[in-house]
Structure 1
Amino acid sequence: MEEIREPKDLPSVEELVKHLEPLQLPRPLLVEAARSSIQEMRNQILKRLHAPEASSNSEGEISFLRLVERAKQFIDIWTRSWPVKVINATGVLLHTNLGRAPLSKAAVEAMVNAAGYCDLEMDIESGERGHRDKHVADLLVRLTGAEAATIVNNNAGALFLTLSALAAGREVIVSRSQSVEIGGRFRIPDVMAQSGAFLKEVGTTNRTYASDYQNAISESTAALLVVHRSNFRLIGFVHDPSLSEIVEIGRLYNLPVIHDLGSGALVDSSMFGLEHEPMVQESVSAGVALTLFSGDKLLGGPQAGMIVGRGEYVARIRSHPLFRALRCDKVTLAAMHATLMHYLRGEEQQAVPVLWMLGRKQVDLYSTVQSWKSSLLDCGDGFEVKESVSKVGGGSIPEIPIASVALVIDPSRWNLSADELAYKLRTGDPAVVGVVEDDKIWLDARTVMPEEGPLLVQAVRRSLLLRD
């Protein structure tokens, strides 16, 4: 095939489209792919003509065949299914970039069942219209001991809706040390401002007392807000009033206490050797008016924001106009219901993937990684089994290391750099995401499900032995 050296020698878009027609895709897509391919090659030609010293020989010869192949690559990228299933070998359990909590098999099945027609807002017994959040709310009430409950699309939405319903146009008192950023550059003061509530900070960055809340109360006060610092810690010369102290102040002044727990644990994290993360049940039993927490963190379900507490306040939230705007769709509700059912049955530590991962023993992790290494002996000797450190992630239990075990790969044994091997693993099928450290690839076993182990081994073998 003759090399194309000048922009004027590039084919027309129509000429290239004719060679793409056998793909039997809509013409606008073929035209866009042809234009993109031609423009990319035009830029390469101009670069070679005007700055030959900056051109790379690796770009290769430009020909009509290459233009066609590049256009097909564009089409392949644009028509690729999403999302891509990823094997998480980073050791970060609630990896935000990888979708946070993986769902249980039952939750996935429930989502599939809900994808068609279902009894979303119908009472099967009476045949009359019902509430879409009823089944999830009933489970939350049973599991937390709250009077009432509801669910919205995420925890930031839960806080926004709660403040809008209970405190619009009035003040909400919060400790200065809890006026935090909750991720994605969303900050508690900004959420409060959008809700129509006015933030009133008390105390200092490191020390706040119960009297600070009490002294700040005025006729304009609508609520007291407590925000759990789930994504960072304050240590040293610090002080926070207990939740019971703030609840007592709320009782004295007839003000609701809103507790934003963030990560939302329903089991005691200390059983996994971690620091005790405040539990939803503890918040409810302390007497707060409303407790808010996430669904896709330590709870191990889909993205959602749960609101549990006193019936009168939950009723006000459910009747607020924004409730409809922030409500969950049927597949999210189905997944959350299935996840909560694990807790109701007492099977959460085995059935909820995040809790199963937290409970994995070091000896089992060593055995798992050793089996990976044994399966890869035919590929070479660039593998080691090493102790590693996992993390909960997702803004939960900050900076607490969890002992783990990883398969460490030295890609230089296969004439690859760590970045090159990471790319091959990441773009393979299935995609595998590990950690690059000290020019090596670390694949942490804690976050790899049992059925994913053989697939990970295949992906590693393919990435090391197959050349582009």
Structure 2
Amino acid sequence: MCDPRSQIPSIDALLASPTAERLLEDTGRSQLTEAFRHTVVKMRRAIETEDVEIIELVDNLEWYSEQAARVLARERVPGLRRVINATGVVLHTNLGRAPLADEALKAMRHAATYSNLEFNLQEGVRGSRYTHCVDLLCELTGAEDALVSNNAAGALVLAISTVGLGKSVAVSRGELVEIGGGFRIPDVLERSGASLVEVGSTNRTRPADYESAAALGEVTAILKVHRSNFRITGFTEEVSVSQLVSIGESHGIPVVHDLGSGLMLRGAKLGLPDEPMASDSLASGADAVVVSGDKLLGGPQAGIIVGRGEMIERMRRNPLCRALRVDKVTLAGLEATLRLYRDPESVTERIPTLRMLALEPEVLKETAEALASHLKVAKVPCEVVPTKGAVGGGTYPGVELDSWAVELTWPDGARVLSDALRAGDTPVVGRVINEKLRLDVRTLLPGELTSVVTRVAEAFIEGEKEGV
């Protein structure tokens, strides 16, 4: 019997086939060559494992071209892709947190070419990237000065490195939080070159605890960390920013407030409980406040530090500032987002994160009913149900958002359907609850309803073909 390995076509023969010529119209010769090599390897493995169905195609040039086309198609799919968020979690960290406003996207596209990132157009000399968002941040927060870095964790490292390098920083034991990804405040302080001085207890910390630590003369800064991703209730006590500032002033040590969320307007405007804002901390006398750009601010990922002019200038001169510097596209998106806050009447409509949070349940129910109606036309069995969403992004822990969703039932289980919806050109991500898949409409962006209907209908049709 002839060894099937001897019947495997050569790469040159495959490249000369008529189907290969068609593939070469859309791809380079080197890429197609590599794709054919993958296909030949697949055939060799089939021979080794005695996969009869594939071995029967050993000399079929069409099969090799089809397999190569699949390899090329997979390679064309970008690693970072657009996803439709139907989870109801507005600031979904795994899905990229805040979706950006149209104004921010437009500004980022413009900045992606040549720009005046570090060029003074008036004088024709070198400028600084750190001037672009300063006026807006000072206007919105009441700060003397501001600095933008690549992310909030980096901004905190920069701030602590500036005030506590080789020195000690006091932090309440109740604020030694994990900020996500396994990174904890004690570790951040250590990497910033500062020694941690723990004060108080997990549930109760008093002004006297900070006073005692400061009186020893070893503490050179106080760090207050907002517990944005969890709550401590019951027998508790904590020290306010204004109290810490008073202690700091009496001992000549600065107060840094790691606030996190970046909220720029009162929670009540979004139907949420009030959360501290950077302007509150600065009004209470904090020397520097650190917030995120891509959480409740609704902008691109960035670390924002606002505070006293002398303190911010010291941070600019810190060598770490260059290592953590922000890029031109992020600055453009952040500036455009901040400009929207100048009009408090329209900002909740123009920034997607704020718009989603402010949506009333009645409006969400109408949207869910519209989605269900379209799905039923496509012969997809579904039901409109009330559900609970979340703010997400390590903010507003325990706060549930009343919402509405379309619930889908799949004969082979909700997780199989969930997998199918994620497999399309535009993946749809929902939540599996009680063996049913829910698509929460709160987090759908304008224009995405049609895409959801199309993807769900495709998944059901594909399932029927496979006999699911």
**TM-score calculated relative to the size of structure 1:** 0.90
Aligned residue number for residue 315 of structure 2: 317
1:327 deviates by 1.1
Aligned residue number for residue 424 of structure 2: 428
**TM-score calculated relative to the size of structure 2:** 0.90
SS in structure 1 of the partner of residue 342 of structure 2: helix
User: Are 1:327 and 2:329 matched, yes or no?
Assistant: no
- Structure 2 residue identity aligned to 1:351: R
Aligned residue number for residue 37 of structure 2: 35
Cα distance in 2 between the residues matched to 1:60 and 1:9: 10
Q: Which moved more, 1:344-353 or 1:267-276?
A: 267-276
1:179 deviates by 1.4
Percent identity of equivalent pairs: 43
1:422 deviates by 2.0
Compared CA separation, residues 221 and 455, structure 1 to 2 (3 A):
same
User: Are 1:108 and 2:110 matched, yes or no?
Assistant: no
Compared CA separation, residues 167 and 411, structure 1 to 2 (3 A):
same
Equivalent residue in structure 2 for 1:154, among 136, 151, 154: 151
Bigger fraction of residues in strand:
2
User: Are 1:83 and 2:85 matched, yes or no?
Assistant: no
Q: Structure 2 matches for 1:360-399, cutoff 5 A? A: 360-380=359-379, 382-399=381-398
SS in structure 2 of the partner of residue 241 of structure 1: coil
Q: Which moved more, 1:355-364 or 1:59-68?
A: 59-68
Structure 2 unaligned regions, length at least 5: none
Equivalent residue in structure 1 for 2:291, among 278, 293, 296: 293
1:119 deviates by 1.8
Q: Which moved more, 1:63-72 or 1:215-224?
A: 63-72
Aligned residue number for residue 194 of structure 1: 191
Asked whether the equivalents of residues 379 and 465 of structure 1 are also in contact (C-alpha less than 8 Å), the reply is no
Cα distance in 2 between the residues matched to 1:91 and 1:106: 24
- Structure 1 residue identity aligned to 2:292: S
Aligned residue number for residue 23 of structure 2: 23
Cα distance in 2 between the residues matched to 1:134 and 1:384: 52
Aligned residue number for residue 121 of structure 1: 118
Cα distance in 2 between the residues matched to 1:142 and 1:196: 32
Compared CA separation, residues 256 and 420, structure 1 to 2 (3 A):
same
User: Are 1:438 and 2:434 matched, yes or no?
Assistant: yes
Q: Structure 2 matches for 1:58-457, cutoff 5 A? A: 63=58, 64=60, 65-217=62-214, 218-346=216-344, 347-380=346-379, 382-412=381-411, 416-457=412-453
Asked whether the equivalents of residues 146 and 310 of structure 1 are also in contact (C-alpha less than 8 Å), the reply is yes
Cα distance in 1 between the residues matched to 2:268 and 2:4: 68
RMSD: 2.4
Q: Which moved more, 1:389-398 or 1:30-39?
A: 30-39
Cα distance in 2 between the residues matched to 1:204 and 1:10: 72
1:18 deviates by 5.0
Compared CA separation, residues 162 and 60, structure 1 to 2 (3 A):
farther
Q: Which moved more, 1:20-29 or 1:76-85?
A: 20-29
SS in structure 2 of the partner of residue 142 of structure 1: helix
SS in structure 2 of the partner of residue 344 of structure 1: coil
- Structure 2 residue identity aligned to 1:255: I
1:248 deviates by 1.0
- Structure 2 residue identity aligned to 1:23: L
Asked whether the equivalents of residues 259 and 278 of structure 2 are also in contact (C-alpha less than 8 Å), the reply is yes
Once the two structures are superposed, residues 356-402 of structure 1 have per-residue CA deviations (whole angstroms, 9 ceiling, x without a partner) of 00000111011111111112222336110000111111111113111
SS in structure 1 of the partner of residue 182 of structure 2: coil
Asked whether the equivalents of residues 133 and 333 of structure 1 are also in contact (C-alpha less than 8 Å), the reply is no
Asked whether the equivalents of residues 408 and 438 of structure 2 are also in contact (C-alpha less than 8 Å), the reply is yes
Cα distance in 1 between the residues matched to 2:56 and 2:149: 55
1:74 deviates by 2.1
Asked whether the equivalents of residues 406 and 445 of structure 1 are also in contact (C-alpha less than 8 Å), the reply is yes
- Structure 2 residue identity aligned to 1:191: V
SS in structure 1 of the partner of residue 384 of structure 2: strand
Compared CA separation, residues 444 and 44, structure 1 to 2 (3 A):
farther
Asked whether the equivalents of residues 4 and 55 of structure 2 are also in contact (C-alpha less than 8 Å), the reply is no
1:31 deviates by 4.0
